[in-house]
Amino acid sequence: METIFFKRIDSSNASTNCRNGLRDFILQHPEYLGELCAIALDIQYKNHYKGVWILEMIAEKQTELLSDYVDHICSSFVSIKNDSAIRGISRVAFFLGTTTKITLTETQEEKIIEICLDWLIRDERVACKVYAMKTLHHLSRKHPWIKDELHLIIDKDYAEQSAAYKAAAREVLKKKQRS
């Protein structure tokens, strides 16, 4: 049975007003977060990417609200294939991987590291790769082996990538030299 919230997500569009309205609704009614996660992470549902858009905005605005759902989110990274959803979920991974408001388990960190490395290696859009780079760079403070792996991937792919990728790569490499 479709709930009213499900119908709101289903009939939503990419406009800023629409997405902000759904984000604000969740912030005011966090009891719907479970349903939002279920919608966003259900890859069988054709419009799950719309839920990912809102999940991404929640992660950016109040990451700590996702603390009860981190396991489910991290376990779902590998199954998401829709381009629009991948971009959004890469930002969710970034916010989860860089926040100080949630303490990730070792397993959750491993899943974030693994998917970010996958996104960098695979033929993904540049925004996804940039968020993956930034997430990995941040997590390399705790997991130093990531720095070398990240540097190898960036060096290997640098020449074929877009200007946006190259700019992000230079920023990450510059930070790597300072740390």
Q: What is the pTM of this model?
A: 0.94
What's the Cα-to-Cα distance from 169 to each of 68, 103, 132, 176, rounded to whole Å?
33, 27, 11, 10
What's the Cα-to-Cα distance from 17 to each of 93, 100, 103, rounded to whole Å?
24, 29, 32
* Pairwise CA distance, residues 86 & 141, whole Å: 25
* The pLDDT value given to residue 175: 74
Q: What's the chain's average pLDDT?
A: 94
Mean pLDDT, rounded, for 120-138:
95
Mean pLDDT, rounded, for 115-130:
96
* Pairwise CA distance, residues 128 & 90, whole Å: 6
Superfamily classification of domain 4-178: Leucine-rich Repeat Variant (1.25.10.10)
